[in-house]
Amino acid sequence: MGTAFYIAAAVAILSTIMVITRYNIMHALLYFIVSLLSVAVVFYLYGAPFMAALEVIIYAGAIMVLIIFFVMMLSLGSQTAGDERSWMTPGVWIGPSILCIVLLGELVFLILQPAGPAGEVRVVEPKEVGLSLFGPYILAVELAGMLLMAGIVGAYHLGRQKKKIVHRFLETSES
């Protein structure tokens, strides 16, 4: 527990500091993905392997990819392929890659270890979480579903391009 936690915590804090000090948004997002992965390793250490998988899949895999697509879409009009070449210089990806390799080595070491988590950390099984989620918290699950539905409808409504609507009678009277 001890050393592995401190390495993952150091990677998390370092990459978060890099996130808040970058000027380029793409560099910051790369470091933020590393920060989420290290927090997932911390979840694994605290006896929540299913939550670690969800953190990687939903946060690092879905939400961050959404933000990255959005940033790329915004800068599509004014910038060209030369920018894409400047995004991929070694100075951009070498820092996050080193931090990722540290995390990967730590995770492989943890998986190869035979025993369970040491110390006073108690593992909470995913089955227990599911029983609690769909037992006493079923109302909260339905509320979360309604929240996601409202998010979908709101995002569609806000993201729609406003067209100027001219009534056809007015159009014919003008012309």
Residue 105, interface with other proteins (CB under 8 A)?
Answer: no
Residue 32, interface with other proteins (CB under 8 A)?
Answer: yes
Nearer to other proteins, 38 or 175 (CB): 38
Say if residue 28 is exposed, middle or buried (CB neighbours under 10 Å; 0-12, 13-18, 19+).
Answer: middle
- Residue among 50, 53, 72, 107 that touches other proteins (CB under 8 A): 50
Residue 14, interface with other proteins (CB under 8 A)?
Answer: no
Nearer to other proteins, 39 or 99 (CB): 39
Alpha-carbon gap, residue 150 to 173, rounded angstroms: 40
Nearer to other proteins, 120 or 171 (CB): 120
Long-range contacts of residues 20-29, Cβ cutoff 8 Å, at least 24 apart: 25/71, 26/68, 26/71, 26/87, 26/92, 27/92, 29/64, 29/67, 29/68, 29/71
Residue 110, interface with other proteins (CB under 8 A)?
Answer: no
Contact 60, 123 (CB under 8 A): no
Q: How far apart are the first and last CA of the chain?
A: 77
- Residue among 74, 101, 104, 108 that touches other proteins (CB under 8 A): 74
Residue 94, interface with other proteins (CB under 8 A)?
Answer: no
Contact 30, 65 (CB under 8 A): no
Q: Which residues are at the interface with other proteins (CB under 8 A)? A: 1-2, 5-6, 9, 12-13, 16-17, 19-20, 25, 28-29, 32, 35-36, 39, 42-43, 46-48, 50-51, 54-55, 58-59, 62-63, 66-67, 70-71, 74, 119-124, 128-129, 131-133, 137, 140, 144, 147-148, 150-152, 154-159, 161
